[in-house]
Amino acid sequence: MKELHCPICGTSFVRVTYQEGGVERLLSRVNVFPFRCQLCTNRFRAFYSGARHNTQAFDRRQYTRLPASIEAQVLDRDQPAMIKRITDISMDGCTLQTTGFPEGAFIELVLKPTMEDEKIRIETAMVCSVRPLSMGIRFLEIPPEHYRRLAQVVLGLLVGQGLDPTLNV
């Protein structure tokens, strides 16, 4: 079977995603499934005979969260800026080691992946889940140049961790 690639950016880091509507459910009967590129976030359909058996019904995420240790400055107009640690990240969000924000709160993040990397600014992020020592964050607004840098960081994590490019297919 041929390895799947994103039709937009060409990467093989794609993941089966949830089916939207009746058409996609019908297409799945003939092994045509929806996929999400883990880098450029493009959603596309493709024939893939093994996807039905490997989809994870319990994981609703469209993007694989990758273990990381990234410093992040958390900015909120109601609180002073604070430096926290990101423990996993994807193109869509992250887990942040902090508490004190309610679910649904909007924050701004400035990520500093490594000493030599430029900062990545997430203009708007939303707290989606609150756990005892961390919060699940969803990225909502990222300027294009920062989005490209985030994609480079995610690609580095995907490659650096030796993950199979067709992860979760």
Is position 109 within any domain? yes
Q: List phi, psi (to 5°) of 132.
A: -55, -40
C-alpha atoms less than 13 angstroms from C-alpha of 106 in its C-beta half-sphere: 5
Residues 9 and 46 grouped into a single domain: yes
pLDDT digits (tens, 9 = 90+) for 100-115: 899 999 999 999 988 6
Residues 71 and 139 grouped into a single domain: yes
Torsion sign, CA atoms 63, 69, 75, 79: positive
Q: What is the Cα 64 distance to its own chain's centre?
A: 6
Residues 140 and 109 grouped into a single domain: yes
pLDDT digits (tens, 9 = 90+) for 57-70: 445 678 888 999 99
Which is more confident, 76 or 120? 120
pTM, two decimal places: 0.74
Number of domains in the chain: 2
Which position has the token pair 């902090």? 98
Residues 33 and 74 grouped into a single domain: no
Q: What is the CATH number of the domain that holds 80?
A: 2.40.10.220
Domain of 76, in residue numbers: 66-160
